[in-house]
Amino acid sequence: MTQIVITQDCECERDKHEITKYPRPGLTVQSFKVGEKLELVEEWSNFYGDYYRGRTEKGIADISIDNATLNDD
């Protein structure tokens, strides 16, 4: 199983987008600390950058590749 390993404290890019562009009650931003690991779902890109999509306790998180690396252990 490939894992995403967080290399810099960061937040879910999708959550940050949602909270700034489409705010609504109850919406929160997932935060991640250095060393945390997520299961890799996919890698993807858009106009703004490249991302890893990972599985978390809350569902799915999009992490910039600048804030993480992949581990195949």
**Residue 7 in this model has a pLDDT that exceeds 90:** yes
Which of these CATH numbers, 3.40.50, 1.10.10, 2.30.30, 3.40.190, describes 3-71?
2.30.30
pLDDT at 1: 84
* Contact between residue 35 and residue 5 where contact means Cβ atoms under 8 Å apart: yes
Say if pTM beats, i.e. exceeds, 0.85: yes
Closest CA to 59 of 24, 15, 19, 23: 15
CA dihedral sign, ordered 21, 27, 33, 36: negative
Give whole-number Cα distances, 34 to 20, 48, 50, 51, in Å.
24, 23, 19, 17
Q: Give the domain ranges of the chain.
A: 3-71
pLDDT digits (tens, 9 = 90+) for 8-54: 999 999 999 999 999 999 999 999 999 999 999 999 999 999 999 99
